[in-house]
Amino acid sequence: MADQYAQSGEHKRPTEIPAIRWEEPPEGPVLVLLDQTRLPAEEVELVCTDASALVEAIRSLAVRGAPLLGIAGAYGVALAAVRGFEVEEAANALAGARPTAVNLALGVRRAQAAHQAALARTGDPRQAADAALAAARALHREDAAASARMAEHGLALLDELLPGGGHRILTHCNTGSLVSGGEGTAFAVALAAHRAGRLRRLWVDETRPLLQGSRLTAYEAARSGMAYTLLTDNAAGSLFAAGEVDAVLVGADRIAADGSVANKVGSYPLAVLARYHHVPFIVVAPVTTVDPDTPDGASVEVEQRPGYEVTEVTVPQVPVTGAGGGVPVAPLGTQAYNPAFDVTPPELVTAIVTEEGVVSPVTAEALAQVCGRARRA
Ligand code: MRU
């Protein structure tokens, strides 16, 4: 069946623009983002000269995905410090820009703590700013290293669960180098399988309403030369029923202490489908995404996004008429339910792959053990 979907695995990497980078031109330091709202049509950079521009970029999803939000938040604190803004205020605005991905506040607080400690030690704002920047750079590097280790552990797990090879993997949202200092989380595992010659097909959920799957994951898959096929989110059920999915791989925005996984809305229905069809549902996330202060799934704050993201579609080149700047696809005044995330209970998760190892079965104790190991290191 797979061959009838054969497509476009032959794209070559057009350019190599990192998702985020710190630059120091003569006019002063800036944080440069690849504007993810413009992909795949255009590769446009967004230059942030202060934390408030970064807050706006985070809210609009120009920069997004849990690990990258942490890195961006840390650089945002450094940017405020280097440019002489009030660091406390900038840190609070950045940490509160989006509520669900725990990495954002974690990255912000790490750079802020480094800034405070250096200021207390030296009394010199310049040295304090340097310390915040060093913390951001360290987080950036650590995330790249964690990504590589997750890919190794994840591929080993896939090979163990699916000994025949030729993996057909379904993924949701976007979890590659656009969300990471390295090659990402779930996507990094698929990429490792592809490089090892063991990925038969990556099924890419389009991920309504903001299309992170079709706009971003398909873009990354094409650039990597993978065999991939795009499907609407509501086509996943029939794909499972046809026996075309060997495993589901997703990332996470926050993992509660009991192993509940908050991730892009639409992940939970995939976990239910996976269980019904006896297919492993695997979550790939760094230990920084596990939040011991969130006891369970019910305690996760799920971001609610504006209704116009559902009632309108933004298409470049088409005249805009809706309140959100897009083309209406629902009658004017229609109310929309638009949670950005959903929560999958631990009993539906086959395994959580971290850089410190694989948690399976997913229990609070096993999760605490793996994360405790990381925190002691
Ligand atoms: O709203 P987004 O695009 O920031 O949501 C991103 C996701 O849900 C990702 O799956 C998650 O952050 C994991 S990325 C490694």
Q: What is the ipTM of this complex?
A: 0.98
How many whole angstroms separate alpha carbon 254 and alpha carbon 257?
10
Beta strands, E only, 98-213: 167-171, 199-205
Q: How far apart are the CA of 175 and the centre of ligand 1, in A? A: 7
Q: Are 270 and 172 within 8 A, CB to CB? A: yes
Residue 5 pLDDT: 42
List 304's β-bridge partners, or say none. Answer: 339
Residue type, 193: A
Digit-coded pLDDT (tens) for 316-340: 556 667 778 888 999 999 999 999 9
pLDDT value for 283: 99
Ligand 1 atom, smallest distance to 69 CA: 4
Enumerate the β-bridge partners of residue 8.
Answer: none
Q: What is the mean pLDDT of the chain?
A: 93
Which residue, by CA, sits nearest to atom 15 of ligand 1? 175
pLDDT at residue number 317 = 56
For residue 100, how far is its CA from the centre of ligand 1 (angstroms)? 10
Which residues line the pocket of ligand 1, CB cutoff 6 A? 61, 64-67, 101, 173, 175, 179, 184-185, 212, 251-253, 263-264, 340
Q: What is the mean pLDDT of residues 38-56?
A: 96
Distance 128 CA to ligand 1 centre (A): 31
pLDDT confidence of residue 17: 83
Distances in Å between the alpha carbon of 21 and those of 47, 109, 133, 234, 354? 10, 20, 12, 36, 25
Q: Which of 233, 140, 251 is nearest to 188 (CA)?
A: 251
Evaluate if residue 3 carries a pLDDT over 80: no
- Exposed e or buried b per residue across 115-128, where buried means at least 16 C-beta atoms within 10 angstroms of its C-beta: bbebbeeeeeeeeb
From residue 42, give the alpha-carbon distance in Å to each of 17, 35, 36, 107, 211: 12, 9, 9, 28, 15
Residue 182 tokens, joined: 């390295």
Q: Is the pLDDT of residue 235 over 90?
A: yes
* Per-residue model confidence as pLDDT tens digits over 59-117: 999 999 999 999 999 999 999 999 999 999 999 999 999 999 999 999 999 999 999 99
The Cα 280–Cα 168 span in angstroms is 12
Q: What is the DSSP letter of 298?
A: G
Report how far residue 289's alpha carbon sits from residue 126's, in angstroms, rounded to the nearest whole number.
31
Residue 74 and residue 124: Cα distance in Å, rounded?
Answer: 20
Q: Residue 37: its pLDDT value, please?
A: 94
Instruction: Ligand 1 pocket test: pick from 100, 264, 287 the residue with the most ligand atoms within 8 Å of its Cβ.
Output: 264
Q: What is the pLDDT of residue 53?
A: 98
246, 253, 291, 342: which one is catalytic?
253
Q: What pLDDT was estimated at residue 326?
A: 86
For the CA of 341, the nearest atom of ligand 1: 8
CA of 107 to the centre of ligand 1 (A): 16
Kindly state the percentage of the chain with pLDDT values over 90.
89
Q: Which residue has the higher pLDDT, 325 or 361?
A: 361
Minimal-distance CA residue to ligand 1 atom 6? 65
Cross-strand bridge partners of residue 357: 354
DSSP 217: I
